[in-house]
Amino acid sequence: MLDPPPGTTNGAVEREEVQSSETIGAAVSAAIAQLRAGRGTVVHLDADARGTALLDQAERLAADAGIPTLRVDRGHPLDTSRLYDSIADSAPGAATPRILITVAGLDSLAPASRALVAVARPKIGPAAAAWIVHLGEPGDPGAPDDAAPDAVTTTTADDDHLFAAALLGRPIDAADLAAALDRPVASLLPFFRRAMDAGILVEDDSDLRFADPRVRRRVLSDAVGDAVRSADDLHDRVVRRLIDAGKSAALADGVRTGVLTLDRLEPAGAVAACELMSASDPATAAVALTRVLGRLPASDLDAVAARAATFSLQSGVPTAYGDYAGVLDGGAGPALTFAVAEATFAAVTQKARAAVAPLLAGSGLTSADRARLSGLALVADTYRGLATDAQRHDVDALVHATGDARAEGLRRLAEALFEAEEGDLGAALRAATLPMPLPWGADQGPVWWMAAVYRTRLLADLGRTEDAEAVLTEAVAAAHRAGQAQAIPPLMMMTGILRMDAGRLAAAAVHAEGALQLGEGMQLPGLVSTNCANLLTHVYRMTGDLVRLQELRAALQRGLQEDDARAETAARALAFADDALGFDRPAAAAGEGTAGGGNGGKGASRTRHYWIARGLSDVISTFRFAFHGADRASALRHFASIELLSRTTESILLRAAVRHCSGLLDGDAGAIREAQATYLAIGRRLLAAQAGEDVGLATSAPPAREDALHAAAATWTELGAHREAARIAQLLRTMGSRARADDSSLGLGLTAAQERVAQAVLAGATNEQVARALFLSPNTVSVHLSRIYAKVGVRSRGELIDLIRSPDPARGAGR
């Protein structure tokens, strides 16, 4: 049967009832055909389909069509960074990227991957994505359970052993099985030989597993029917063994699938088991904890409900925020209020801060509760630029007195934000250096991954790009290990920022669009919406995608009005968007660098020299925006911040930034050229491209100026920044210089100017929008299109788009 994924609301996801495996096979073939045509879909195959064989078929069809594929299974989690990079790299130029994602055994995936697949959509940024998801277990051929091999019923002497093995799941650890049966491991060897000879068990690396998922299901079913006299006793022994051995994933998998239950444990023991499960599967731990609540004394309810909230919100389950949003309205206990505010303050900063205020103003808090709530208030106020020295001192004292790890983590986040804004990036980096994740048992909240985001940005802006990439990679891996899918959207957003820094604009856009989509799918879009919109605004302004830029204005305007912690970020991005779209600049657009929290919010009037979420690239871009817009006073203010950063923190990148900006102010092309060389040496290609353009603008000798600008235009074209290249081409035309030939990325034999027009048309722009994006008149755009149609043999805009999207490798000029 075909069904949309859980939680899907996108109308593009198809619903189709399938009655036979042949029809399912046809549906898979149809999905690939649809993908070839540039349309995505999500197909869910029931466990009674023909197992992973259908996924193999789909991958062969995709390979024949030249479509990249990504397989997700028990041993290979859904690597969103790899997925997004594959999309960006899958098609040159503006041809619509396409990708096939096959999921082998949704139920067997690690928790974070399950959560990510649950919000799968048929479109990821510019790409069409076909998701074919098998809901059974890997290797499950999908036949009915009563078709299990006869060997299951012919080894009755081993019923207890098989049942215990089935309870343990996959893989089967011999030591765990021996402990559950209360027998030495050596005594089980004859059983293992019989079971393997009968084809029931097979080797799985150093462990064992059932050869066929149907066998395990049959064993479990028979045990319920009294085939195993001591079924309850064996079940309880298996549960106790998994708890004693710290087997978090195995216990969580058994509880989640209903094979194991915690109902016969004492309440305190059940809570401890849930804490164990939370280390790998917080979603299952949250559900199990809610079942325990009814058996707890009233004195324990607030603390245990708080743990359930933390686990649920970090798991990325789409309904989690809706389930707990009401807690922020007041009336809940201090532990639960703190847990919800901690998990959501990055998305709803002002609301989270307001929720803890009455509790802090009251009495009766424990010292640990007061330290945690005060730490939350401090970091929220620092976000918005409202924290005071006295508040920081009080929180320092509380954290020191209690030694509470969660309060200390929040205090460190606030310190990192504050030190960065003051201009000391080294001190900010030291404050943000926390374990990933925090030691198990201390926290499964967001502090560790937020610190990882901060560290990544700071390391990159200290010129330590490789270290930044390493931190980000480890953070993503840690989020998967811990099952904390809520961390993935912000980490993908940060990956997009690093891709933009490296000049990989297409990859930056896909990562940011993907992060937005994941945040919306988890129903907590505020987690990344304003910052992603800011990133995408910079990218699409450079590439000339004014259609998407116009759509982003709505998100930025919402951020300006509703996202208290990132209002200035929204205002600055609106300035860039409105400049490209030809709108009047909003009053708040200039962005003086004074009113901001850690991400640029509505706060106190002290100067903020650096914003972690925006980074150095944003500061330099804003400086250039002001300088080239003849707003020298604003440019000087931003330059003062860059100078302060360089004086306070030793960094090759910061020194280059000072050389770059001072070179612009002084008209010193040599200084800018030195900065450009440094940017290139440390992999900051976007800054190098900006510096290359500025070299041309600062060069006075006409021939050298013209050569530098031609080189800059070629660099922008190479990066996919077609609007920037067009802007320089316009400047060169005013100088009487003709455009030089560029390599065509579309393979249609077009000139550079014609290719830029074709790229804009593919993005959905009208002639008027193309003209604005490329600094041309609408009439010139019409002339270009007429010549393009004649050159490539099409008659309309639609036929041109179809040609560009065509996978035909033989397309070219003169067809």
pLDDT tens, 444-475?
688 999 999 999 999 999 999 999 999 999 99
pLDDT band at 125 (very low <50, low <70, confident <90, very high): confident
Cα 713 from Cα 721, distance rounded (Å): 9
Sequence-ordered strand ranges (E) for 316-463: none
Reported as a single tens digit per residue, the pLDDT across 389-399 is: 999 999 999 99
Decide if 145-229 and 744-815 have a common fold: yes
Greater confidence, 155 or 416?
416
Please compute the mean of the pLDDT values over residues 127-137 and round it to a whole number.
Answer: 87
Reported as a single tens digit per residue, the pLDDT across 315-367 is: 998 899 999 999 999 999 999 999 999 999 988 899 999 999 999 999 999 99
Cα 74 from Cα 422, distance rounded (Å): 46
Among the listed residues 677, 637, 640, the one whose alpha carbon sits nearest the alpha carbon of residue 656: 677
- Which secondary-structure segment (H or E) carries 409? helix 405-422
| pLDDT at 146 (0 to 100) | 44
Please compute the mean of the pLDDT values over residues 35-44 and round it to a whole number.
Answer: 89
- Strand 98-104 versus strand 69-72 pairing type: parallel
What b/e readout covers 62-74, taking b as 16+ CB neighbours within 10 angstroms?
Answer: beeeebbbbebbb
Please compute the mean of the pLDDT values over residues 682-690 and round it to a whole number.
Answer: 96
| pLDDT at 558 (0 to 100) | 84
Q: How far does Cα 378 stand from its chain's mean position?
A: 26
Among the listed residues 714, 734, 720, 718, the one whose alpha carbon sits nearest the alpha carbon of residue 775: 734
| pLDDT at 154 (0 to 100) | 46
Q: Which residues contact 499 (CB under 8 A, 6 or more apart)?
A: 88, 505, 507, 508, 511
Cα 345 from Cα 527, distance rounded (Å): 9
- Would you tell me how many other CB atoms lie within 10 Å of the CB of residue 519? 25
Cα 47 from Cα 140, distance rounded (Å): 8
pLDDT band at 47 (very low <50, low <70, confident <90, very high): low
131 bridge partner residues: 42, 101
The answer, yes or no, to whether the previous bond of 171 is cis (omega within 30 of 0) is: yes
Token duo for residue 343: 């998990």
Please compute the mean of the pLDDT values over residues 14-35 and round it to a whole number.
Answer: 68
Main-chain dihedrals φ then ψ at residue 145, nearest 5 degrees: -60, -30
| pLDDT at 797 (0 to 100) | 85
Reported as a single tens digit per residue, the pLDDT across 549-600 is: 999 998 888 888 877 778 888 888 898 899 888 876 543 344 444 333 344 4
Cα distances (angstroms) measured from residue 397 to each of 371, 381, 742: 9, 18, 63
- Rounded to 10 degrees, the C-alpha dihedral 344/347/353/358 comes to -50
Angle made by CA atoms 391, 396, 397, in degrees to the nearest 5:
100
| pLDDT at 1 (0 to 100) | 28
Greater confidence, 94 or 665?
665
Among the listed residues 420, 758, 435, the one whose alpha carbon sits nearest the alpha carbon of residue 610: 420
pLDDT band at 10 (very low <50, low <70, confident <90, very high): very low
SS3 of 456-472: the string is HHHHHHCCCHHHHHHHH
Cα 512 from Cα 98, distance rounded (Å): 17
Among the listed residues 89, 106, 95, 94, the one whose alpha carbon sits nearest the alpha carbon of residue 6: 106
**Poorest-pLDDT segment among 258-272, 405-419, 754-768:** 754-768
pLDDT for 601 beyond 70: no
- Would you tell me how many other CB atoms lie within 10 Å of the CB of residue 642? 22
Half-sphere exposure of 252 (CA within 13 A, CB side): 28
Cα 766 from Cα 755, distance rounded (Å): 15
All structural domains of the chain with their residue ranges: 21-134, 145-229, 329-613, 744-815
Reported as a single tens digit per residue, the pLDDT across 719-741 is: 999 999 999 998 998 888 766 65
With residues binned 3-state (H G I as helix, E B as strand, rest as coil), the percentages for the chain, rounded to 5, are 65, 5, 30
Main-chain dihedrals φ then ψ at residue 100, nearest 5 degrees: -110, 130
Cα 726 from Cα 247, distance rounded (Å): 59
Of the candidate CATH numbers 3.40.50.720, 1.25.40.10, 3.30.70.20, 3.10.129.10, the domain formed by 329-613 belongs to 1.25.40.10
3-class secondary-structure state, position 123? strand
Half-sphere exposure of 666 (CA within 13 A, CB side): 12
Q: What's the N-to-C CA distance of the chain in angstroms?
A: 44
pLDDT band at 284 (very low <50, low <70, confident <90, very high): very high
Most confident of 58-62, 217-221, 618-622, 654-658: 654-658
pLDDT band at 224 (very low <50, low <70, confident <90, very high): low
| pLDDT at 807 (0 to 100) | 56
| pLDDT at 437 (0 to 100) | 62
pLDDT band at 637 (very low <50, low <70, confident <90, very high): very high
Cα 733 from Cα 574, distance rounded (Å): 29
Longest dimension (CA), the chain: 95
Q: How far does Cα 572 stand from its chain's mean position?
A: 23
Q: Which residues contact 173 (CB under 8 A, 6 or more apart)?
A: 207, 247
Percentage with pLDDT > 70 across the chain: 86
Cβ neighbourhood burial of 317 (10 Å; 0-12, 13-18, 19+): buried
101 bridge partner residues: 70, 131
Cα 436 from Cα 713, distance rounded (Å): 42
Among the listed residues 242, 241, 262, the one whose alpha carbon sits nearest the alpha carbon of residue 251: 242
What is the topology classification, in CATH, of domain 145-229?
A: Arc Repressor Mutant, subunit A (1.10.10)
Main-chain dihedrals φ then ψ at residue 77, nearest 5 degrees: -65, 165
* Residue type (1 letter), 393: H
CATH code for the part of the protein at 744-815: 1.10.10.10
Cα 349 from Cα 327, distance rounded (Å): 14
Token duo for residue 599: 């991400």
The answer, yes or no, to whether the previous bond of 184 is cis (omega within 30 of 0) is: no
Cα 815 from Cα 811, distance rounded (Å): 7
Greater confidence, 434 or 306?
306
| pLDDT at 473 (0 to 100) | 94
Kindly give the residue spans of alpha helices, DSSP state H, lying in 462-566. 465-482, 488-501, 505-521, 529-543, 546-562
